[in-house]
């Protein structure tokens, strides 16, 4: 595991949201998030139409 601190994370599309989730879980590790064209959700759920469907 990388023991990084004060990271400036840059993500595009869905990786922006992955970075946001990581920053929520470990806020002490992130200094800034740079999000380029973040996608709010890819999966259809609760009336939201994403761009993909979850396989069951």
What domain range includes position 12? 8-56
Compute the CA torsion angle 22, 24, 28, 30 (nearest 10 deg). 50
Residue with the larger pLDDT of the pair 35 and 14:
35
Residue 1 lies in a domain: no
Contact between 23 and 9 under an 8 Å Cβ cutoff? The reply is yes
Residue 37 lies in a domain: yes
Residue 2 lies in a domain: no
pTM of the shown model: 0.66
How far is residue 42's CA from residue 51's CA, in Å, rounded to a whole number? Answer: 5
Helix, coil or strand: residue 40: coil
Residue 47 lies in a domain: yes
Count CB neighbours of 41 within 10 A.
14
- Based on the structure, what is the number of domains in the chain? 1
- 9-29 confidence digits (pLDDT tens): 999 988 898 899 899 999 999
């Amino acid at each position: 595991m990388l023991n990084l601190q004060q990271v400036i994370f840059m993500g595009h599309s869905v990786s922006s949201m992955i970075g946001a989730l990581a920053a929520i879980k470990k806020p002490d590790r992130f200094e800034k998030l740079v999000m380029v064209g973040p996608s709010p959700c890819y999966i259809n759920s609760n009336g939201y139409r994403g761009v993909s469907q979850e396989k069951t």
